[in-house]
A and B are shown apart, each in its own frame.
Chain A
Amino acid sequence: MSNIIVLPILIPVLAGSLLILLVKKHRIQRFMSGLSAIATLVASLFLAVYIYTNDGIAALELGTWPAPFGIVMVADLLSVTVVVVTSLVGVCCLFFAFRTMHRERERYYFHPLFFFLITGVNGAALTGDLFNLFVFFEVMLLSSYALIVIGGTKFQLRESFKYTIINIFASMLFLAGIAYLYGITGTLNMAHIAERLDGLDEAGALPVVAIVFFIVFAMKGALFPLYFWLPRAYYGAPIAITALFGGLLTKVGVYAIIRTYTLIFTQDVAFTHHFLILLIAGFTMLLGVLGAVSSFDLKKILAYHIISQLGYIVIGIGLFTPLAMAGTIFYYFHHIFVKTSLLLFSGVVERITGTTDLKKTGGILKTHPSLAWLFLIPALSIAGIPPLSGFFGKFALVLESLQEASYLIAFVAMFVGLLTLFSMLKIFINAFWGEQKHTNKQAQTPIMDVLAPVLPLVFLTIIIGVGAQWSFGFSMEIAEQLLDPSIYIDSVLKE
């Protein structure tokens, strides 16, 4: 029965391969693409329910090779939730792309690449093997390199070369880190590594290896000071692709940090977690939001906000207590919903006005009230206004950093929250209020068809906010499972 763990990886990879063959047939391609995306979502929901009702964790040994020798797939509560959310965001972005993606771009293998990206993200979440994690990262990144340059405008070519090089360099460091860890432990299975490192008195070279891995994941997850590639690289691509990247790609880097820093690198918590991660988290939040405050372009502001929100997510790993981890998990999912919907809404604004420059927009509230009010929900949510989801994540993180006497990080988090609200209001005032700057013909642009795919995400940010009792309880369960690595180790090594 645990064979179903491979379904969320298998369906997209098969769909992607099939869609390469169908690339000339426009209608069939779209139909197959939509169908497979929904099938992936259903399979991941099925997997999530199965895992939740069966001890909360299951491992699958591929080719029935016993655990430390063969490759294992592990589905615990965190990874299945990541898989479900990934598939959901995938469906929303895909249906949004149907309505907005240029036909020419779609013809250049948008659909196959999209599914390979989903394969990579789902695979990275479900694998229990460090080298396999690298492979799935590469699957995801290779398709992202191709997706980000799809269309081939001058801007895209210029920025995606930098994006590609920085990520490839990070991948090489990832391999070097794997080499070091293999030299120390002699295994690549994450549970086995954790077991061998457990009870080690002398940390030895491990903090160094931990930092190598942190640099790698920070580069992919766009944390301070390695975030410089993000705003421009994300700016050039079509909005459906940017939203997919903003929601998923950087989060995979953070997922890898959560996984390795709760399972493997727990020898020197005082240095790696309390000092290094907290410091990075503070700077990431602050500089990201300052970038957003200084920009005057809708897409660029939102891209900078990805960075500052990643800082919030990382705080909880730095504090390393159950409540803080739960806050991190909650914020992680909140951020995926909110950021994807905000980026997709900015695409709708671009569709109406033809620009994302805030100096050239205005008065959309009068002509398209539904868009304006829908935009306001995730915008307030990201700024942390109750009862929307952003509030509860921030509340838990700030509360726990006060309890842990990390006053500075609590202060920075609240200050950044204020600046976030400021830049969200800047968007709202300049794009939606004020004089109507788009033509009357543009005011007639129908938008209901592009708003519909975003609705589930907006709905979810309200639901997990209003139903925080339930959703935060679930995050707490995930956090407790993460902070007890023996659950993971025992389930993989069957002891």
Chain B
Amino acid sequence: MEYLIFIAIGVLFSVGTYLLLCRSLLKVIGGFMVISHAVHMLILTMAGLNTGSAPLVDLSGSDSTDPLPHAVILTAIVIGFGLTSFLIVLAYRTYKAHKTDDLEKLRGADNE
């Protein structure tokens, strides 16, 4: 199971990297979103995919899954959500100001 997920992470990372290198603003944002999913899956997998019970405190001490990665991923998802919405607004404003979403044309003049 771990190997399958690692392959999926690898695919997501490469797709994300490809999108990050695209010239369109929106595709770059899409790339960031894909990479963030890959990273969240990486955290889950690196912590070990246990098959224990839900980590509820009944003080029995029997094998439950590690709750920490879930808390970490949840926080990371929330941060990623904030970043994505900010990026989309920024891209929209950039598009409106420059009348283009092509990063090649957003290089800027040489003599600034």
Residue ranges of A at the interface with B (Cβ–Cβ < 8 Å): 131, 134-135, 138, 142, 145-146, 149, 152, 154-155, 157-161, 164-165, 168-169, 171-172, 175-176, 178-180, 182-183, 186, 188, 232, 235
Contacts and interface: CB of A to CB of B under 8 A. Distances in A.
7 contacts: A157-B90, A158-B94, A160-B90, A164-B87, A172-B36, A178-B72, A183-B48
A183 B87 contact: no
Interface string B9-32: 000000000001000010010001
Contacts of B32: 165, 168-169, 172
B43 interface: yes
Nearest to B35: A172
Given A138-B79, A165-B20, A179 B42 contact: yes
Contact of A142 (B25, B43, B75, B86): B86
Contacts of B93: 149, 152, 157
Contacts of A149: 90, 93
Contacts of A161: 25, 90-91, 94, 106
Residue in B35, B45, B83 with the greatest tally of chain A CB atoms within 10 Å: B83
Contacts of A235: 112
Contacts of A186: 47
B108 A155 contact: yes
A72 B65 CA distance: 23
Contact of A169 (B35, B40, B79): B35
B98 A154 contact: yes
A442 B101 CA distance: 40
B21 to A, nearest CB: 11
Nearest to B95: A157
A131 B72 contact: yes
A154 B108 CA distance: 10
Nearest to A157: B94
Contact of A175 (B76, B86, B90, B91): B76
Interface of B: 20, 25, 28, 32, 35-36, 39-40, 42-43, 45-48, 68-69, 72, 75-76, 79, 82-83, 86-87, 90-91, 93-94, 97-98, 106, 108, 112
Nearest to A232: B108
Given A146-B86, A165-B32, 19 more contacts: A142-B79, A149-B90, A149-B93, A152-B93, A155-B112, A157-B90, A161-B106, A168-B32, A168-B83, A169-B32, A169-B35, A172-B32, A172-B36, A175-B43, A178-B43, A179-B39, A179-B45, A188-B72, A232-B108
Nearest to B29: A165
A157 B108 contact: no
Nearest to A131: B72
A134 B39 CA distance: 14
A178 B40 CA distance: 11
B95 to A, nearest CB: 9
B72 A152 contact: no
A179 B46 contact: yes
Contacts of B42: 175-176, 179
A175 B39 contact: yes
Contacts of A152: 93, 97
B25 to A, nearest CB: 7
A178 B86 CA distance: 24
Contacts of B47: 179, 182-183, 186
A154 B42 CA distance: 38
Nearest to B46: A183
A135 B90 contact: no
Given A142-B86, A182-B47, A183-B46, A159 B39 contact: no
A160 B98 CA distance: 13
Contact of A182 (B35, B40, B69): B69
A157 B39 contact: no
Given A154-B98, A161-B90, A168-B87, A142 B82 contact: yes
Contacts of B72: 131, 178, 182, 188
Nearest to B72: A131
Contacts of A164: 86-87, 90
B15 to A, nearest CB: 14
A324 to B, nearest CB: 34
Nearest to B108: A158
B97 A157 contact: yes
Contacts of B82: 142
Contacts of A175: 39-40, 42-43, 76
Contacts of A172: 32, 35-36, 39
Nearest to A181: B46
Contacts of B35: 169, 172
Q: Which 10 A-B pairs have the closest CB atoms?
A: A183-B46, A179-B43, A179-B46, A157-B94, A175-B39, A179-B42, A138-B79, A154-B97, A158-B106, A172-B35
Nearest to A130: B72
A252 B2 CA distance: 35
A145 B82 CA distance: 12
Given A145-B86, A158-B106, A182-B69, A165 B98 contact: no
Given A164-B87, A172-B32, A157 B20 contact: no
A357 B76 CA distance: 42
A180 B69 CA distance: 12
